[in-house]
Structure 1
Amino acid sequence: MSSIVTELELTDLDADRYLLDLPGTSLLIFTSIGCASCRWARRELAKLDLPVQRLAWVDAGDNGGLVTRYEVFHLPALFAVRDGQFYGAVQARLLSAELTLALNTALSRPAEELP
């Protein structure tokens, strides 16, 4: 898709507004500074050619409300959101082809309301 991917930093206070209002597909990613895989994801995901308009980052250490609502138990945790609709967890290794397949699979499921 597009090689220009927007990156957002979301918090407990603004995540719902952004995720509900933004058009297109967002990959919502929960990370923490103490997680080595998370640091790699922060550095590398924007470089991958993924079928998303934006990467929406949430610092799990600072946003416990979102962590609870999304039932995040491991980091990094990835979720698909498209046009204000929630499509659930995206489970794949952090490689372009695997993430694209997992995103497409998630987006083919029935949409739910945001947690």
Structure 2
Amino acid sequence: MQVRPLTEFDFHPRLADSNGVSLVLFSAPGCGSCRVWLRLLSDFTDPLLQHCYVVDVQLATAVAREYEVFHLPSLFLFVDGKFHAQLQAEATPKQLSQAIGTLLNLPPQDEP
């Protein structure tokens, strides 16, 4: 799956234009766990997931604050451009697929 970058300036417009399920990874270049997640997402295939985005918190501090990102990596699930839930899973394809499926079967959470 192609992981595309998002910035403060295109975060909301690009997500608003996305259909289906999107996963957003808040990351930083010096974060080892973030690099593991980026590798996983680059190779990840799941029929439920249409888009993957990465936000560099060093370049998009306003968006990181808006979503109350205090720990990296942080993952958020969006459905049809709207916030659905914060995602927490081990960095394995099986755990990620299960977490996505579980969250999609639950009602949307309030946006941070």
Kindly report the root-mean-square deviation, in angstroms, between the aligned alpha carbons of the 2 structures.
Answer: 1.6
Structure 1 range deviating more: 68-77 or 5-14: 5-14
Match of 1:13 in 2: 9
Q: Does 1:75 align with 2:62?
A: no
**Counterparts of 1:92 and 1:9 in 2: how far apart (Å)?**
21
How many Å apart are 1:109 and its aligned residue? 2.5
Q: Which amino acid aligns with 1:53?
A: Q
1:54-65 to 2 correspondences below 5 Å: 54-65=51-62
**Counterparts of 2:14 and 2:111 in 1: how far apart (Å)?**
11
TM-score, structure 1 length as denominator? Answer: 0.87
Q: Which amino acid aligns with 2:107?
A: P
- Secondary structure of the 1:27 match is strand
Match of 1:107 in 2: 104
Which of 63, 67, 84 is 1:66 aligned to?
63
Which of 23, 27, 38 is 1:31 aligned to?
27
Q: Percent identity?
A: 35
TM-score, structure 2 length as denominator? Answer: 0.89
- Secondary structure of the 2:64 match is helix
**Which runs of no fewer than 5 residues in structure 2 stay unpaired?**
none
- Secondary structure of the 1:19 match is helix
**Counterparts of 1:75 and 1:64 in 2: how far apart (Å)?**
13
Number of aligned residue pairs: 111
